[in-house]
Amino acid sequence: MSNTNQLAKLDLDCEVVINYLSGYLLDQGVRTVRSFDLQSACASYPDLTCSHHENMACDCQLVILLAYGQSGLNKTCHAEHSEASCFSFEIF
C-alpha cells in the first residue's frame, strides 16, 4: 500500500461519508461496490474483543469500496472509523 493517498480525516460517521461518496461517484458515472465491511464480518462473533475498546462495545468500522468506471475497476477506496467519530479515507 505504498501508493496510498489519504484524502481526509473527518469528524463524521463512517456510514454518512460512505453513502455520500457512493452517491457522488454514481453521479460522476462511477459505480461502487462494498467489498468488505468490518461490522458485518464481526457480527457472527459477539464475544470478539476489540483491541481499541477492550470491554466496551466496539464501534470500529473498516469499509472497502471498489470503484468501477467505464473502463472497469479504477480505484479501491479504504474507509476507516474508530474511537468515536474519527474517519479517515484513502484511495489507492
pTM for the full predicted model: 0.68
Q: Name the residue with higher pLDDT: 67 or 81.
A: 67
What is the spatial distance between Cα 48 and Cα 65, in angstroms, rounded to a whole number?
Answer: 24
Average pLDDT of the segment spanning 2-6? 52
Quote the pLDDT of residue 2: 41
Per DSSP, the three-state class of 38 is: helix
Q: Residue 8 pLDDT > 70, yes or no?
A: no
What average pLDDT does the chain have?
75
**Per-residue confidence (pLDDT) for residue 1, from 0 to 100:** 39
- Residue 32 above 80 pLDDT? yes
Which amino acid makes up residue 88? Answer: S
pLDDT at 79 over 80: no
72: left (phi over 0), alpha (psi -120 to 50) or beta: left
